Structure 1
Amino acid sequence: MLMPLCFYSVLSHGAKISRHVPVGRLHALLCLYKTTAMALVFDLPFRRTAVQRVTSLEFSSVAASQVMATSVPVGLLGEAPSPWNVQQLLLPPLCAAAVAVVAWCAARAAEWAWLRPRRLERALRAQGLRGTAYRPLSGDAPLSDRLAREARSRPPLPPGCHAVVPRAMPLVHHAMNEHGKTSVTWFGPTPRVIVTEPELVRQVLSNKFGHFEKAGFGQLTRLLHHGVSTHQGSKWAKHRRIINPAFHLDKLKRMLPAFASCCADMVSRWEGLVAAADDGEPCEVDVWPEMQRLTGDVISRVAFGSSYLEGRRIFELQEEQVHLAMLVANKIHIPGYMMLPTRVNRRMKRIAAEIEGILRGMIATRESSLRAGKATSDDLLGLLLESNMEQFSGEGEGEGGTNSGGGGMSTDDIIGECKLFYFAGMETTSVLLTWTMVVLAMHQEWQDRAREEVLRVFGGGCRSVPDYDGLSRLKIVTMVLYEVLRLYTPLPALHRRTYKPMELGGVRYPAGVMLMLPLLSIHHDKDVWGPDADEFRPERFAEGIARAAASGGDAPPAFFPFGWGPRTCIGQTFALLEAKIGLAMILGSFVFELSPSYSHAPFPVVLLQPEHGAQVKLRKLP
């Protein structure tokens, strides 16, 4: 209400003046109004100085006096015209404008921080949903921090224990225990509803009616990566279509030699460590950094045609960026927080700029080669650029011979996809292989069964390049990988946001509610997977994913390590092929067991990682 009243006041003063002022001089006065208003709004403690400064800037104090002297009657100003009379004339409406601006900002802040959250909270509670009470601004951030500290301060889990949810997702575990499986938590001023029913999770991820959008985290997401996984609508569809050809199975098959070469280098390095051990004793190796190095080497070669050494700088920067992101994760709901010049924010922006500079140079070199007519490399970047150029040239046609792509991707878009290649291609597979080695070290009987299968399919030591047909016959290895993905899901949760009112599971959700899909918790749910949900039992996948859950039969699957629906992870086949080759070559060369120094402490740093490393004892296979 204050803003319209303010403008009415300004206009009414202007109307009084306009009856006595010629058009040209009236324009000068309006300029004076406009500029003085800006000075008063943005320099309130120094209004008089600001007005005098503005008066001189617009057309000088003398000119202003002349305008007022010749245009405004003395009776209107109450005394002989002067620059100070101008201030007296303008001050009331401009003060009202300043008050209106402040009131408008305060109203917006109150709506964001209190009124809207309370409306959403009432709407959810009226339908029987319970959860934590809303705390202005911070939401559940203090509770989440406290629960995380408590979880990390507890003793590590005993070896062989896979009940990791209380430690890895303490806030979700607390909310579900206190308020039920479908409960409400708060991400800043946004209500976040936990959805655990597999059928509802599939509905959300399928998004058939367009009710949901991916819940982004703004500038933080862009600093980490801003590829296809973060886009929405037509931009997501265009990027997905351009990237898809690079992940076709026939293209991935041609990458198998590069996978095997990287794994062979790691196996040779481990053999050297074992040989150097005293008296044939097992050699202790922390396989977590080793797997990061392996997958970093793989993604460098198959995505960019370079070696690990050439890509090491990007890996180091990405790893630092992930750890910095965790420091600000509970503050990003505050508007403008990522724009503040804090030490962490400045460092994250410098890292992002350096990574993007390296990638921009790589992309420019490749694009120059393509324009010169040189052959495209079979790596992901080459395939991506080739597909992108087809979109620009109109060769990428949709049904009916029309180019449905709407053009290709910009260089910035391609940089975003390359950052996603590095982030997802390296981190996801490295945590999968790390947890697989840890779990097989805990369960020697399954390690022996998987090794027996590898040796039966590939023969002595699996030192040659494993072919795709052989990998497809590794049934036990596949079961082991699926069970590890279930127990140690790399990405513990997915988030979606309702952008219009909709109904899900009998609950009517207003627009602006975040839905949290706690994949790790769902994969440990005894109602879904049976009383042995926290146990390592790969045989549950013997008849495939659809029959793995306790319900069995033809029930829809409740297994979501790579998401579900149209936004299923585009690189899941890539990740599983890489993991199969790596595990097959390790099993064909070594026997391993947990080291006494290993501490079983899964903890999410974006992905679910071993907090204190993953130390195992290696022995060369006889």
Structure 2
Amino acid sequence: MESLTVEAMNAIWCIILVGIVGVGYHVYGRAVVEQWRMRRSLRMQGVKGPPPSIFNGNESEMQRIQSEAAKHYSGDNIISHDYSSSLFPYFEHWRKQYGRMYTYSTGLKQHLYINHPEMVKELSQTNTLKLGRITHITKRLKPILGSGIITSNGPHWANQRRIIAHEFTHDKIKGMVGLMVESAMPMLSKWEEMVKKGGEMGCDIRVDEDLKDVTADVIARACFGSSFSKGKTIFSMIRDLLIAITRRSVLFRFNGFTEMVFGSKKHGDVNIDELEKKLDSSIWETVKEREMECVEGDKKDVMQLILAGAMRSCDGNLWDKSAYRRFVVDNCKNIYFAGHESTAVSVSWCLMFLALNPTWQNRIRDEILSSCKNGIPDEESIPNLKTVTMVVQETMRLYPPAPLVMREASADIRLGNLVVPKGVCIWTLIPTLHRDPEIWGADANEFKPERFSEGISKACKYPQLYIPFGLGPRQCLGKNFAMMEIKVLVSLIVSKFSFTLSPTYQHSPNYKLLVEPQPGVVIRVVGQ
């Protein structure tokens, strides 16, 4: 009897094991076959690439190339602006082998790398809902961005874009210059005090953290009518989530059956789910508080206008409370992140370049004196700041905040003569395009704002390939807001201070969704 029981238990375990293996083979095997089909389709059209392994594609090779690049990184503090070979060495390595367009795979994903000018131009002009954000990356970024305008796809994205784009036109945001100036004043006063204490030698200031406080304040005021101090907890949680999520690469790690089925919830010691819930609750509470504060006739902030547009655009029978709340919270996350982090990073890089090029500081000061009352920009003078605009455009050419364009084909699509199979992820490395000598000339790696003296159309061979805010219909909706804020902050800082790069500055661009100065930008500041 006991023997029968043991045999029965063994049989049950065998059945369970066979079932697990069968399910694994069914799911994983189908994914492998589908990936092989996509790769074969691309290669039949002449798109080559490195041979993949069965289980993890080219991930091992990518990690090996990355490790070798790290070993060859010079310890000397030499400022080189061509960081593609250190941050994304596998893209550069394969580009030398296979040209401007090639295919590679990671785990269960097939990728197509494109840096051919005509193909990128085609990608930019393609207006279809069949090209969206890469799904396994948006899944990773869900805690910080939800299903907002940055990460959503298809009709859901199109609906959000229609609502939000209306509130970020140039005419809508030009009245926010005063708000931006007001937010910057505490930082400028703080720096003035530091410079006074430093005496004739001035003082060293790490600018990036202070700039993040300013841009956070601008976003908080613009969206909720509240100051940074009120939303400090929200920004802190967003930063903690960003650090936790980017602790592991979100670009190419998609390892095998377990992660494909169950996902990956563990990021160091941080409980992502718990922090995400706290963030969502804090944002929703802030929104509700703002609604309570507002009275009829008050000037509405950006988020109120967006919410009003959302309500007008939706059928009340379909727009339930949970969907409404999700829309509010997710798009607040998107606006907070995009308008806070990326703008501060861009201004930091601007100040680094100006510290290295004092002649351009002098040109900006002369321009501000002739164009701005009391040296303070306003909505009337901002369009006249041509020198500031040139410096900002050149900075964003060399250091675009988000260095990668990422798309995934939700159906077979045609780009020029190439048919991209459904499921393929398309990548474009913006810094490589922005430094291509064939597009920008032999001085493509040099900081030369004068190349934009006649505008973007005359700055390079293919103006469509200047894409610091992304490309096509999915380019950043807040680009007008961001450009205006960057110009305001740069103008205010340069008008009040002269500065050089501190001897303590260590040039080390680092990629965490944005290309940031890892140890920060430190400048030596003296008063005017």
Secondary structure of the 1:184 match is: strand
Any idea what the Cα deviations from partners look like across 1:293-346, whole Å, max 9, x if unmatched? 221121122122222222222222212211221223243465663745535386
Residues 1:155 and 2:98 aligned together: no
2:167 paired residue number: 246
Any idea what the Cα deviations from partners look like across 1:222-278, whole Å, max 9, x if unmatched? 11203112122221121112223322333312322210011111111100110111x
* Separation in 1, partners of 2:257, 2:168: 37
Note closer, same or farther for the CA distance 1:518–1:155 as it changes in structure 2 (3 Å cut): same
1:420 paired residue number: 334
Secondary structure of the 1:139 match is: coil
For residue 222 of structure 2, what is the amino acid of its counterpart? Answer: V
1:130 paired residue number: 48
Note closer, same or farther for the CA distance 1:333–1:302 as it changes in structure 2 (3 Å cut): farther
Note closer, same or farther for the CA distance 1:157–1:108 as it changes in structure 2 (3 Å cut): same
Report sequence identity in percent.
28
Cα displacement (A) at 1:428: 1.0
Cα displacement (A) at 1:406: 8.1
2:470 paired residue number: 563
Note closer, same or farther for the CA distance 1:47–1:255 as it changes in structure 2 (3 Å cut): farther
1:293 paired residue number: 213
Q: Is this contact kept in 1: 2:343–2:486, CA < 8 A?
A: yes
Residues 1:352 and 2:276 aligned together: yes
Note closer, same or farther for the CA distance 1:376–1:95 as it changes in structure 2 (3 Å cut): farther
Secondary structure of the 1:254 match is: helix
How many aligned positions are there?
Answer: 516
* Separation in 1, partners of 2:6, 2:287: 52
For residue 243 of structure 1, what is the amino acid of its counterpart? Answer: I
Cα displacement (A) at 1:183: 1.9
Secondary structure of the 1:388 match is: helix
Cα displacement (A) at 1:522: 0.8
* Separation in 2, partners of 1:369, 1:241: 27
* Separation in 2, partners of 1:301, 1:125: 52
Cα displacement (A) at 1:158: 5.5
1:391 paired residue number: 313
Identify the range of structure 1 (301-310 vs 415-424) with the bigger mean alpha-carbon deviation.
Answer: 301-310
Q: Among residues 124, 129, 133, which one is paired with 1:214 in the alignment?
A: 133
Any idea what the Cα deviations from partners look like across 1:468-516, whole Å, max 9, x if unmatched? 1200001111011111111011111011122333333433332221110
Residues 1:615 and 2:483 aligned together: no
* Separation in 2, partners of 1:157, 1:165: 18
Secondary structure of the 2:457 match is: coil
For residue 280 of structure 2, what is the amino acid of its counterpart? Answer: E
Q: Is this contact kept in 2: 1:160–1:443, CA < 8 A?
A: no
Instruction: Output the aligned Cα RMSD.
Output: 2.9
For residue 269 of structure 1, what is the amino acid of its counterpart? Answer: K
2:301 paired residue number: 379
Any idea what the Cα deviations from partners look like across 1:134-160, whole Å, max 9, x if unmatched? 133433333334444444451267555
Q: Is this contact kept in 1: 2:122–2:416, CA < 8 A?
A: no
* Separation in 2, partners of 1:355, 1:308: 15
Gaps of 5+ in 1: 1-44, 51-90, 395-402
1:105 paired residue number: 24
Any idea what the Cα deviations from partners look like across 1:562-607, whole Å, max 9, x if unmatched? 1222222110000011001100100110001001111111121110
Residues 1:204 and 2:118 aligned together: no
Note closer, same or farther for the CA distance 1:136–1:288 as it changes in structure 2 (3 Å cut): farther
2:101 paired residue number: 182
For residue 120 of structure 2, what is the amino acid of its counterpart? Answer: V
For residue 360 of structure 1, what is the amino acid of its counterpart? Answer: W
Secondary structure of the 1:268 match is: helix
For residue 52 of structure 2, what is the amino acid of its counterpart? Answer: Y
Q: Is this contact kept in 2: 1:496–1:515, CA < 8 A?
A: yes
1:323 paired residue number: 243
1:603 paired residue number: 510
* Separation in 1, partners of 2:224, 2:401: 24
* Separation in 2, partners of 1:495, 1:345: 29
Q: Is this contact kept in 2: 1:339–1:345, CA < 8 A?
A: no
Higher relative contact order (CA 8 A, sep 6+): 2
Note closer, same or farther for the CA distance 1:130–1:393 as it changes in structure 2 (3 Å cut): closer
- State the TM-score, normalized to the length of structure 2: 0.89
- State the TM-score, normalized to the length of structure 1: 0.77
* Separation in 1, partners of 2:7, 2:219: 60
Any idea what the Cα deviations from partners look like across 1:61-102, whole Å, max 9, x if unmatched? xxxxxxxxxxxxxxxxxxxxxxxxxxxxxx99x988984674
Q: Among residues 252, 256, 260, which one is paired with 2:177 in the alignment?
A: 256
1:303 paired residue number: 223
Identify the range of structure 1 (447-456 vs 475-484) with the bigger mean alpha-carbon deviation.
Answer: 447-456
Note closer, same or farther for the CA distance 1:478–1:333 as it changes in structure 2 (3 Å cut): farther
2:421 paired residue number: 510
For residue 517 of structure 2, what is the amino acid of its counterpart? Answer: P
Q: Is this contact kept in 2: 1:300–1:307, CA < 8 A?
A: yes
1:457 paired residue number: 371
Note closer, same or farther for the CA distance 1:157–1:135 as it changes in structure 2 (3 Å cut): farther
Residues 1:488 and 2:399 aligned together: yes
Cα displacement (A) at 1:356: 0.6
Q: Is this contact kept in 2: 1:225–1:419, CA < 8 A?
A: yes
Gaps of 5+ in 2: none
Note closer, same or farther for the CA distance 1:511–1:244 as it changes in structure 2 (3 Å cut): closer
Secondary structure of the 2:380 match is: helix
Cα displacement (A) at 1:47: 8.9
Note closer, same or farther for the CA distance 1:523–1:171 as it changes in structure 2 (3 Å cut): same
2:201 paired residue number: 281
Secondary structure of the 1:199 match is: helix
